Amino acid sequence: MEQERPLPSVVERMWGREPVPRRGPRPRLDLATITTAAIEIADAEGLGGVSMASVASRVGVAATALYRYIGSKDDLLTIMADGVAPPPPEPEGRSWRDYLALWTRIQRDLLLEHAWLLSVGRLSPPLGPRRLLWFDRALAALDGTGLDHGEKINVASTLTGYALTDAALVHGIGGGAPQPEEHAIGGAAEYGEVLAGLLDPAAYPALSAAMRSGVMRGAEGWVEDEDFVFGLNLLLDGIEALIGRRASEERSCCGEGVPE
């Protein structure tokens, strides 16, 4: 059962399994160098600034030389998306709830810090070593809760998704770092005003009422930390309820099952 399946070469590369050449000149670069260069560009100029040419020139080679290390630009983006992730915090000593709250928050902050991730990561599930490490720690934090493997996975997926959703919202509405980009709307307050002026109260009664009520006028108020915590607690409450249910089931029905 050992890697019989031929993995996509991107994945091999991400895991450091690049074929080491025994002949010929030494490679002037390696994946890490290219990846960090690309990430730096993306952080500074956004995804639009990341071209084969720009990355190559930053590491001091011709554009086409990069194809010795990656198969395509898409591959580069995939590797970048894994490469930005720092090591996750360790769950030890924390309750599952505290840990997952932290875990989710850091992910969201990371997404805001590297907003270009929002335009990348979404397709295809994670296969890189760093993101999978994050995943592992979430599952580990749920050990002893009585959830089965599938439930743990679902919980982790849902929380990751929430981090993404929230980051996208904050970024889209202009609450994050004020990147001088193409966005026309700059802040929740302005968004609210635009909508209030745009909507026909007859066709959009509820939304129109909400916008005219001034909820969005809280300057930094909306779409900020408070709202992140709000939704997060919605989820954590749901998870806690599930765990409670599992615990009572376990106590009542079966002396010994296969909880994991």
User: Is there binding between residue 183 and DNA (CB under 7 A)?
Assistant: no
Q: 111 and 117 in contact (C-beta within 8 Å)? A: yes
The distance of closest approach from Cβ of residue 256 to its own copies in the complex, given in angstroms and rounded to an integer, is 17
Where do we find the tokens 């300057």? 219
The distance of closest approach from Cβ of residue 23 to its own copies in the complex, given in angstroms and rounded to an integer, is 29
Q: 9 and 127 in contact (C-beta within 8 Å)? A: no
The distance of closest approach from Cβ of residue 20 to DNA in the complex, given in angstroms and rounded to an integer, is 9
User: Is there binding between residue 32 and DNA (CB under 7 A)?
Assistant: no
User: Is there binding between residue 30 and its own copies (CB under 8 A)?
Assistant: no
Closest CB to its own copies among 37 and 81? 81
Count of residues interacting with its own copies (CB under 8 A):
83
Considering only residues 91 through 110, tell me which ones interact with its own copies, judged by CB under 8 A. none
CA–CA distances in Å: residue 221 to residues 33, 174, 228, 245, 258: 40, 13, 11, 36, 47
User: Is there binding between residue 51 and DNA (CB under 7 A)?
Assistant: yes
The H-or-E segment that residue 39 falls in is helix 31-45
User: Is there binding between residue 54 and DNA (CB under 7 A)?
Assistant: yes
User: What is the 8-class DSSP label of residue 109?
Assistant: H
Buried b (16+ CB within 10 A) or exposed e, 129-166: ebbbebbebbebbbeebbbeeebbeebbeebbebbbeb
Closest CB to its own copies among 61 and 242? 242
Considering only residues 133 through 172, tell me which ones interact with DNA, judged by CB under 7 A. none
Segment interacting with DNA (CB under 7 A) among 48-56, 134-142, 185-193, 246-254:
48-56
Closest CA to 106 of 127, 135, 86, 77: 86
For its own copies, what does the binding mask look like between residues 235 and 254, x meaning CB under 8 A? xxxxx-xx------------
Distance CA 187, CA 174 (A): 5
User: Is there binding between residue 177 and its own copies (CB under 8 A)?
Assistant: no
Closest CB to DNA among 54 and 158? 54
Closest CA to 211 of 232, 233, 188: 188
User: Is there binding between residue 186 and its own copies (CB under 8 A)?
Assistant: no
Buried b (16+ CB within 10 A) or exposed e, 103-125: bbbbbbebbbebbbbbebbeeee
For DNA, what does the binding mask look like between residues 73 and 112, x meaning CB under 7 A? xx--------------------------------------
Closest CB to its own copies among 69 and 222? 222
Distance CA 31, CA 259 (A): 41
Among 72, 95, 179, 248, binds DNA (CB under 7 A): 72
Cβ neighbours around 91 below 10 Å, total: 21
User: Is there binding between residue 257 and DNA (CB under 7 A)?
Assistant: no
State the residues that interact with DNA by CB under 7 A: 21-29, 50-54, 56, 61-65, 67-69, 72-74
